[in-house]
Amino acid sequence: MDGQLLEPSLYTIKGMVILDNDGHRILAKYYDKNIFPTSKEQKAFEKNLFNKTHRSNTEIIMLDGLTCVYRSNVDLYFYVMGSSYENELILMTVLNCLYDSISQILRRNVEKRAVLDSLDIALLAMDEICDGGIILDADAASVVGRVALRTDDIPLGEQTVAQVLQSAKEQLKWSLLK
Protein backbone atom coordinates (compact mmCIF):
# COMPACT_ATOMS: atom_id res chain seq x y z
CA MET A 1 0.00 0.00 0.00
CA ASP A 2 1.23 3.49 -0.78
CA GLY A 3 2.66 5.29 2.27
CA GLN A 4 0.99 8.52 1.20
CA LEU A 5 -2.46 6.95 1.56
CA LEU A 6 -1.87 6.33 5.25
CA GLU A 7 -0.88 9.90 6.08
CA PRO A 8 -3.61 11.92 7.80
CA SER A 9 -5.37 14.49 5.68
CA LEU A 10 -7.92 17.20 6.31
CA TYR A 11 -9.71 16.20 3.09
CA THR A 12 -11.96 13.50 4.51
CA ILE A 13 -15.30 13.98 2.76
CA LYS A 14 -15.70 13.10 -0.92
CA GLY A 15 -19.36 14.08 -1.14
CA MET A 16 -22.73 14.58 0.55
CA VAL A 17 -25.99 13.65 -1.17
CA ILE A 18 -29.69 13.76 -0.37
CA LEU A 19 -31.91 11.54 -2.55
CA ASP A 20 -35.68 11.07 -2.57
CA ASN A 21 -37.37 7.68 -2.19
CA ASP A 22 -37.16 7.12 -5.97
CA GLY A 23 -33.40 7.67 -6.01
CA HIS A 24 -33.57 11.10 -7.63
CA ARG A 25 -31.19 13.82 -6.49
CA ILE A 26 -32.53 16.48 -4.16
CA LEU A 27 -29.19 17.98 -3.19
CA ALA A 28 -25.61 16.91 -3.84
CA LYS A 29 -22.14 18.29 -3.20
CA TYR A 30 -19.07 16.45 -4.52
CA TYR A 31 -15.70 17.69 -3.31
CA ASP A 32 -13.25 15.48 -5.23
CA LYS A 33 -13.46 16.28 -8.93
CA ASN A 34 -11.22 13.31 -9.80
CA ILE A 35 -13.77 10.72 -8.66
CA PHE A 36 -16.88 11.89 -10.50
CA PRO A 37 -15.89 14.73 -12.84
CA THR A 38 -19.19 14.93 -14.73
CA SER A 39 -22.81 15.20 -13.69
CA LYS A 40 -23.59 12.07 -15.70
CA GLU A 41 -21.08 10.01 -13.69
CA GLN A 42 -22.41 11.48 -10.43
CA LYS A 43 -26.00 10.54 -11.29
CA ALA A 44 -24.94 7.02 -12.32
CA PHE A 45 -23.16 6.59 -8.99
CA GLU A 46 -26.19 7.95 -7.11
CA LYS A 47 -28.51 5.53 -8.91
CA ASN A 48 -26.21 2.61 -8.11
CA LEU A 49 -25.85 3.77 -4.50
CA PHE A 50 -29.61 4.08 -4.06
CA ASN A 51 -30.26 0.66 -5.61
CA LYS A 52 -27.78 -0.95 -3.19
CA THR A 53 -29.04 0.85 -0.07
CA HIS A 54 -32.76 1.56 -0.27
CA ARG A 55 -33.78 -1.89 0.99
CA SER A 56 -30.88 -2.41 3.36
CA ASN A 57 -30.91 -2.05 7.13
CA THR A 58 -27.21 -1.29 7.44
CA GLU A 59 -25.67 2.16 7.81
CA ILE A 60 -22.50 1.72 5.79
CA ILE A 61 -21.51 0.39 2.38
CA MET A 62 -18.35 0.20 0.29
CA LEU A 63 -19.14 1.14 -3.30
CA ASP A 64 -16.86 2.09 -6.20
CA GLY A 65 -13.90 2.51 -3.85
CA LEU A 66 -15.79 4.83 -1.49
CA THR A 67 -16.99 4.34 2.06
CA CYS A 68 -20.60 5.54 2.16
CA VAL A 69 -22.58 6.04 5.35
CA TYR A 70 -26.27 6.70 5.05
CA ARG A 71 -29.52 7.27 6.86
CA SER A 72 -33.12 7.32 5.68
CA ASN A 73 -36.16 9.17 6.94
CA VAL A 74 -39.72 9.13 5.54
CA ASP A 75 -38.99 9.79 1.86
CA LEU A 76 -35.35 10.97 1.96
CA TYR A 77 -31.96 9.26 2.00
CA PHE A 78 -28.92 11.11 3.38
CA TYR A 79 -25.44 9.98 2.29
CA VAL A 80 -21.91 11.02 3.21
CA MET A 81 -19.03 9.56 1.21
CA GLY A 82 -15.34 9.29 2.01
CA SER A 83 -12.37 7.40 0.63
CA SER A 84 -12.04 3.68 1.18
CA TYR A 85 -9.54 4.17 4.02
CA GLU A 86 -11.52 6.91 5.79
CA ASN A 87 -12.66 6.51 9.39
CA GLU A 88 -16.32 5.48 9.38
CA LEU A 89 -16.97 7.15 12.73
CA ILE A 90 -15.93 10.53 11.35
CA LEU A 91 -18.18 10.05 8.33
CA MET A 92 -21.06 9.01 10.59
CA THR A 93 -20.53 12.11 12.75
CA VAL A 94 -20.80 14.31 9.67
CA LEU A 95 -23.90 12.41 8.53
CA ASN A 96 -25.57 12.86 11.92
CA CYS A 97 -24.69 16.55 11.92
CA LEU A 98 -26.17 16.98 8.44
CA TYR A 99 -29.37 15.13 9.35
CA ASP A 100 -29.79 16.81 12.74
CA SER A 101 -29.11 20.28 11.30
CA ILE A 102 -31.71 19.86 8.57
CA SER A 103 -34.13 18.34 11.08
CA GLN A 104 -33.78 21.37 13.37
CA ILE A 105 -34.02 23.84 10.49
CA LEU A 106 -37.20 22.16 9.24
CA ARG A 107 -38.63 21.86 12.77
CA ARG A 108 -38.48 18.02 12.74
CA ASN A 109 -40.42 17.87 9.46
CA VAL A 110 -37.72 16.08 7.45
CA GLU A 111 -39.45 15.14 4.21
CA LYS A 112 -38.99 15.89 0.53
CA ARG A 113 -41.43 18.81 0.23
CA ALA A 114 -40.01 20.60 3.29
CA VAL A 115 -36.42 20.18 2.07
CA LEU A 116 -37.33 21.47 -1.39
CA ASP A 117 -39.04 24.50 0.18
CA SER A 118 -35.90 25.26 2.23
CA LEU A 119 -33.30 24.14 -0.29
CA ASP A 120 -31.20 27.28 0.14
CA ILE A 121 -30.87 26.81 3.89
CA ALA A 122 -30.16 23.07 3.51
CA LEU A 123 -27.38 23.87 1.03
CA LEU A 124 -25.99 26.51 3.37
CA ALA A 125 -25.99 23.93 6.19
CA MET A 126 -23.98 21.56 3.96
CA ASP A 127 -21.51 24.38 3.28
CA GLU A 128 -21.19 25.13 7.01
CA ILE A 129 -20.47 21.47 7.79
CA CYS A 130 -17.90 20.85 5.06
CA ASP A 131 -15.88 23.07 2.75
CA GLY A 132 -14.04 21.48 -0.15
CA GLY A 133 -13.91 18.11 1.61
CA ILE A 134 -12.61 19.52 4.90
CA ILE A 135 -14.92 19.11 7.88
CA LEU A 136 -15.54 22.51 9.46
CA ASP A 137 -18.16 21.68 12.06
CA ALA A 138 -19.90 18.55 13.33
CA ASP A 139 -22.16 20.17 15.94
CA ALA A 140 -25.71 20.52 14.63
CA ALA A 141 -26.64 23.29 17.10
CA SER A 142 -23.80 25.57 15.98
CA VAL A 143 -24.53 24.87 12.30
CA VAL A 144 -28.20 25.73 12.80
CA GLY A 145 -27.21 28.85 14.71
CA ARG A 146 -25.15 30.08 11.76
CA VAL A 147 -27.64 29.27 9.00
CA ALA A 148 -30.94 30.03 10.72
CA LEU A 149 -32.87 33.08 9.65
CA ARG A 150 -32.83 36.01 12.00
CA THR A 151 -36.21 36.60 13.62
CA ASP A 152 -36.21 40.12 12.14
CA ASP A 153 -36.42 38.52 8.68
CA ILE A 154 -39.37 36.24 9.50
CA PRO A 155 -42.85 37.75 8.99
CA LEU A 156 -44.76 38.27 12.24
CA GLY A 157 -47.42 35.71 11.30
CA GLU A 158 -44.80 32.95 10.94
CA GLN A 159 -42.95 33.66 14.20
CA THR A 160 -43.52 31.57 17.31
CA VAL A 161 -44.82 33.20 20.49
CA ALA A 162 -41.36 32.93 22.06
CA GLN A 163 -39.79 34.70 19.06
CA VAL A 164 -42.37 37.50 19.23
CA LEU A 165 -41.80 37.95 22.97
CA GLN A 166 -38.02 37.95 22.52
CA SER A 167 -38.30 40.54 19.75
CA ALA A 168 -40.56 42.71 21.93
CA LYS A 169 -38.09 42.47 24.84
CA GLU A 170 -35.23 43.53 22.56
CA GLN A 171 -37.20 46.51 21.23
CA LEU A 172 -38.21 47.57 24.75
CA LYS A 173 -34.63 47.24 25.98
CA TRP A 174 -33.28 49.40 23.16
CA SER A 175 -36.02 52.02 23.59
CA LEU A 176 -35.19 52.31 27.34
CA LEU A 177 -31.45 52.60 26.64
CA LYS A 178 -31.90 55.55 24.25
| Strand, coil or helix: 145 | helix
Condensed to tens digits (0 to 9), the pLDDT of residues 142-172 reads 888 888 755 445 555 555 666 667 777 777 7
H or E, element range at 18: strand 13-20
Give 74's contacts (C-beta < 8 A, 6+ positions apart). 110, 111, 112
Condensed to tens digits (0 to 9), the pLDDT of residues 48-77 reads 999 998 888 888 999 888 999 999 888 899
- Cα 45 to chain centroid, rounded: 18
Give the percent of the chain with pLDDT over 70: 84
**Predicted pLDDT at 42:** 92
Greatest alpha-carbon pair distance for the chain in Å reads 69
What's the pTM value of the predicted model, to 2 decimals?
0.77
- Length of the chain equals 178
Instruction: Please give the torsion angle defined by the CA atoms of residues 168, 172, 175 and 178, in that order, rounded to the nearest 10 degrees.
Output: -130
Name which residue leads in pLDDT, 165 or 16. 16
**Predicted pLDDT at 1:** 46
**Predicted pLDDT at 100:** 93
- Find residue 73's DSSP bridge partners: 76
In this structure, the strands spanning 66-73 and 60-63 are antiparallel
Q: Alpha helices, DSSP H only, in 30-160?
A: 39-53, 88-105, 112-117, 119-129, 140-147
Mean pLDDT of 9-37: 90
